[in-house]
């Protein structure tokens, strides 16, 4: 009876189940192993479907209209959605998170492309300064990170210089952020962090 229920749950017809069970070569252990593999595959499929539905619901609630292909077109291999759950866990309920969610809810593909273009240009400028041996507390470097702060302030949430310093420290402490910077120029994450701190200090 258990074998019938297992196979029935997996979508087998009663005729097919009867044929399997009454087959002289039927082996109960092999049948159980087959059922387990099928259940594991179905479980994995259901998890993927649940994750896709969760992402779709989140996109609808935020008003995000870009699909996966469009996101790749804008961001390439970097998927900002990868950090969404972590961001929600860390900062959900804060004014900054709420404001960022409110603003980005209306952003479309062109908005995100513009943000990425501006951000890439600023990062490239910082990498050039580092390569040229310009100190992070030089006015050139501080001016660029100030533009970075204003980008966050304009596009996402009010970003004070104190908050920017905290973000700069995260760029170094979090290996994922550090890797994104350092792949442009080794040591860039620390350089940006130092420039942000210098910029905050000169503004006091």
Query: Ranked by mean pLDDT, which of 26-35, 46-55, 168-177 comes out on top?
Result: 168-177
pLDDT per residue as tens digits for the range 163-176? 899 889 988 988 88
pLDDT of residue 146: 96
- Of 23-37, 69-83, 143-157, 182-196, minimum mean pLDDT range: 69-83
pLDDT of residue 141: 97
pLDDT of residue 155: 87
Which residue intervals of the chain bear CATH 1.10.490.50? Answer: 67-202
pLDDT per residue as tens digits for the range 102-122? 887 778 778 888 988 999 999
pLDDT per residue as tens digits for the range 128-162? 999 999 999 999 999 999 999 999 998 888 888 88
User: Per-residue DSSP letters for the chain?
Assistant: -HHHHHHHHTT--HHHHHHHHTSTT--HHHHHHHHHHHHHHHHHHHHHHHHHHHHHHHHHHHT----HHHHHHHHTT--GGGGHHHHHHHHTTSHHHHHHHHHHTT--HHHHHHHHHHHHHHHHHHHHHHHTT--TTSHHHHHHHHHHHHHHHHHTS---HHHHHHHHHHHHHSHHHHHHHHTTSTTHHHHHHHHHHHHHHHT-
Q: Is 2-52 CATH 1.20.1090.10?
A: no
Cα(149)–Cα(158) distance, integer angstroms: 9
What radius of gyration do the chain's Cα atoms show?
26
Higher confidence at residue 59 or residue 25? Answer: 25
Query: At the top level of CATH, which class does the domain 67-202 belong to?
Result: mainly alpha
Which residue intervals of the chain bear CATH 1.10.1660.10? Answer: 2-52
């Amino acid at each position: 009876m258990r074998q019938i229920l297992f196979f029935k749950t997996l979508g087998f017809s009663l005729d097919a189940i009867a044929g399997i069970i009454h087959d002289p070569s039927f082996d109960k252990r092999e049948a159980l192993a087959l059922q387990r593999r099928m259940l594991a595959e179905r479980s994995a499929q259901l998890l993927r479907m649940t994750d896709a539905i969760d992402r779709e619901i989140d996109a609808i609630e935020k008003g995000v209209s870009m699909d996966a292909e469009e996101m790749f077109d804008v961001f390439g291999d970097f998927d900002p959605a990868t950090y969404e759950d972590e961001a929600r866990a860390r900062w959900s309920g804060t004014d900054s998170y709420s404001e960022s969610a409110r603003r980005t809810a209306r952003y479309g593909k062109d908005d995100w492309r513009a943000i990425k273009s501006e951000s890439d240009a600023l990062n490239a400028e910082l990498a050039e300064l580092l390569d040229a041996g310009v100190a992070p507390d030089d006015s050139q470097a501080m001016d660029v990170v100030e533009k970075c702060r204003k980008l966050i302030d304009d596009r996402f949430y009010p970003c004070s210089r104190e908050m920017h310093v905290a973000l700069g420290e995260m760029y170094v402490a979090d290996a994922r952020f550090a890797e994104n910077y350092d792949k442009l120029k080794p040591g860039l994450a620390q350089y940006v962090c130092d420039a942000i701190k210098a910029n905050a200090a000169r503004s006091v």
